[in-house]
A and B are shown apart, each in its own frame.
Chain A
């Protein structure tokens, strides 16, 4: 039996998907994807693969191209043949020499916090105190 923790979803080279994709573990893109990616785990984009999408993932490892904004809670790794055309937000960034990058960058723990889904502000209702009747002057 395959260990569920090490299972990888593979989108093969001759596949073209349009829409929204979400996963919890690891997905490897070898083909073409257009739309939106939301993941807790890792997205791997292989060399030759094309991803025209808004990507929000725990970790992104790139050998291919992403056309869209990329947000990673943990880390974005651009290998030497990687290409990103969009804005980047991540806690950590590793760029190898030769990678191409066009977009705004924000990297660091603060950027990752800003990128994480915002918590709903807790609103406390304070019961209004009844107005005291004005004291009558005598």
Chain B
């Protein structure tokens, strides 16, 4: 008998359909649009530069992490303890930690900013998407 591990529900960043994957899955093919999607959480501990970062999971920038990207799409949320320079669209909560530095736009259903965080610039749309319609 096949072993049934822990599963999680994710949302495709291409077609926005929801589907279940194993919690340990790193990438899969979306059953809606059949495109390859990354479902793992992306944890940034050092310097990471990229043009576009997409995941169905979460993006976590640790205290010594620094991310410079054109665009970040994190469909399960984003947490910044280090430095972030990007335009962010998040499907889950965005948390900006007490020692975080933020530069860029933010679209998220909820936002949490801790005392001590520095936001250099950016346009914030909170709540965004379905959460905004509910409000």
Residues of A within 8 A of B (CB): 75, 92-108, 111
Contacts and interface: CB of A to CB of B under 8 A. Distances in A.
Q: In terms of DSSP, what is the predominant structure of the interface of chain B?
A: strand
Contacts of B48: none
B2 to A, nearest CB: 38
In the A-B complex, list the 7 residue pairs whose CB atoms are closest, starting with the nearest. Answer: A95-B113, A108-B118, A107-B119, A105-B119, A101-B126, A97-B112, A101-B124
B111 interface: yes
Given A100-B126, A100-B127, A102-B126, A94 B113 contact: yes
A95 B111 contact: yes
B115 A105 contact: no
**Main SS class of interface, A:** strand
Contacts, number: 54
Interface of B: 93, 110-127, 135
Nearest to A109: B118
B118 A105 contact: no
14 contacts: A93-B113, A95-B111, A95-B112, A96-B112, A97-B93, A97-B110, A97-B112, A99-B111, A101-B124, A103-B123, A104-B121, A105-B119, A105-B124, A107-B118
A94 B114 contact: yes
Contacts of A100: 126-127, 135
A93 B119 contact: yes
A111 to B, nearest CB: 8
A102 B117 contact: no
